């Protein structure tokens, strides 16, 4: 097995690369920055520029699996210009890959697995969503994910299997949402948002990395929810994190208008409610190591000190 990864230097990409290399699986990766290039027997970087449709076709040599994680972060203020970048970065990356694959021999490729997001599901305090849901959230994020998935579906014209993993809130102490959630709690100003009843479907970074590899190794196709089996409310997640950090929660819940004044339209992320099912991937045989939020937090914070630079893989040393 040999895997080509886009977005390999991001939070999820690093976790997947680390797991692949530990298993002895060779990795090619695409990057827009020359200083992030590496070249070893099992780990090679290649330059691309999706905005210009440029890619080094040598990146496909010997590859049987492609994992696509490319796209600008949604965790920056949603200005008009940045909203365009969020969408276009996803579409450009996929279009560049598709055109390149049309020009090379793809007979050895068996699996194409792309990131997506649970933001496609309508915000609801009551619904429990699975992959059969057809309605799309009427928000900027819903629009992005819908167009993102439409572009992913264009890869179904190739002979290999195409899968989408709709990712929820990724829990990791190395980046993403968790450190941002933890900081106010650590500073004794933590509180739930709004009613606190909005559902948050989450996944431990380790389980997510394993899921991408599981889908690729088993040549699965179609959409799968990248979430743990037990979603929690915002209030529950806040309480569990405060417990883990040994901090009290005594402030009132933070109202929507206050966060909108601070974050603008991006504040929608804090109040959207998506309770999402993991049953489909479990029925395929995937086993979660961290099915409950308490166990996930316990593992993440008990091993945080072990994640120092000296103990990371060569990849993480260069790219954290």
pLDDT in tens, 192-249: 999 999 999 999 999 999 999 999 999 999 999 999 999 999 999 999 999 999 999 9
37-74: pLDDT as tens digits = 888 889 999 999 999 999 999 999 999 999 999 999 99
277-320: pLDDT as tens digits = 999 999 999 999 999 999 999 999 987 655 544 444 444 545 43
Cα–Cα distances in angstroms (integers) from residue 105 to residues 18, 29, 64, 102, 222, in the given order: 28, 18, 11, 8, 23
CA distance 94 to 155: 9
Q: Which residue has the tokens 């209030």?
A: 235
Q: What is the pLDDT of residue 305?
A: 53
Dihedral sign, Cα of residue 83, residue 84, residue 87, residue 93: negative
Q: Which residue has the tokens 């072990």?
A: 306
Q: Give the residue among 84, 66, 35, 107 at the shortest CA–CA distance from 213.
A: 66
169 has which bridge partners?
202
pLDDT band at 35 (very low <50, low <70, confident <90, very high): confident
CA distance 312 to 314: 7
Whether 34 has a pLDDT exceeding 90, the answer reads: no
Per the CB < 8 A criterion, the answer to whether 48 and 36 are in contact is no
Give me the torsion for CA of 22, 214, 147, 33, rounded to 10°: 10
Whether 75 has a pLDDT exceeding 90, the answer reads: no
Mean pLDDT of 185-192: 94
Q: What is the pLDDT of residue 304?
A: 65
Q: What is the pLDDT of residue 307?
A: 54
Per the CB < 8 A criterion, the answer to whether 122 and 136 are in contact is yes
Q: What is the pLDDT of residue 310?
A: 40
150-186: pLDDT as tens digits = 999 999 999 999 999 999 999 999 998 999 999 999 9
Q: Give the residue among 213, 225, 231, 206 at the shortest CA–CA distance from 289.
A: 206
Q: What is the pLDDT of residue 309?
A: 41
Give the burial class of 136: count Cβ atoms within 10 A of its Cβ; 0-12 exposed, 13-18 middle, 19 or more buried: middle
Per the CB < 8 A criterion, the answer to whether 6 and 68 are in contact is yes
What's the total number of domains in the chain? 1
Q: What is the pLDDT of residue 220?
A: 98
Q: What is the CATH number of the domain that holds 244?
A: 3.40.50.720
Order across the sheet with 65-68: list the strands.
54-55, 43-49, 26-31, 2-6, 65-68, 111-117, 161-167, 222-226
* Pairing state between β 2-6 and 169-171: unpaired
Please name the helix (run of DSSP H) or strand (run of DSSP E) that holds residue 161, with its range, or none.
strand 161-167
Q: What is the pTM of this model?
A: 0.93
36 versus 46: the higher-pLDDT residue is 46
Q: What is the pLDDT of residue 91?
A: 98
Q: What is the pLDDT of residue 85?
A: 97
| DSSP secondary structure code for residue 41 in this structure | S
Domain of 110 in residue numbering reads as 2-319
């Amino acid at each position: 097995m040999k895997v080509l990864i886009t977005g390999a230097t991001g939070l999820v990409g690093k976790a997947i690369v680390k797991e692949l290399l530990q298993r002895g699986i060779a990795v090619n990766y695409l990057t827009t920055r020359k200083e992030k290039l590496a070249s070893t027997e099992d780990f090679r970087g290649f330059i691309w520029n999706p905005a210009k449709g440029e890619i080094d076709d040598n990146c496909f040599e010997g590859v049987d699996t492609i994992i696509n994680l490319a796209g600008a972060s949604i965790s920056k203020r949603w200005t008009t210009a940045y909203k365009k970048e969020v969408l276009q970065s996803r579409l450009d990356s996929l279009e560049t890959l598709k055109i390149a694959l049309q020009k090379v021999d793809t007979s050895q490729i068996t699996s194409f697995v792309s990131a997506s997001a649970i933001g496609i599901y309508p915000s609801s305090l009551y619904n429990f969503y699975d992959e059969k849901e057809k309605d799309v959230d009427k928000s900027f994020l819903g629009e992005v994910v819908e167009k993102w998935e439409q572009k992913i579906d264009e890869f179904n014209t190739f002979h290999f299997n195409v899968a989408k993993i709709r990712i929820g809130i990724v829990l990791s102490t190395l980046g993403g949402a968790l450190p941002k959630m933890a900081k106010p709690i650590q500073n004794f100003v933590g509180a739930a948002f709004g009613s606190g009843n909005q559902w948050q479907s989450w996944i431990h970074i380790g389980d997510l990395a394993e899921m991408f590899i599981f889908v690729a190794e088993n040549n699965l196709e179609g959409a799968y929810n990248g979430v743990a089996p037990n979603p929690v409310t915002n209030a529950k997640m806040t309480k569990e994190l405060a417990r883990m950090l040994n901090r009290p929660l005594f402030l009132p819940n933070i109202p929507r208008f206050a966060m909108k004044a601070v974050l603008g339209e991006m504040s929608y992320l804090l109040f959207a409610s998506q309770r999402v099912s993991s049953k489909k991937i479990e029925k395929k045989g995937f086993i979660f190591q961290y099915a409950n939020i308490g166990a996930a937090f316990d593992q993440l914070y008990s091993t945080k000190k072990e994640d120092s630079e000296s103990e990371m893989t060569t990849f993480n040393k260069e790219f954290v």
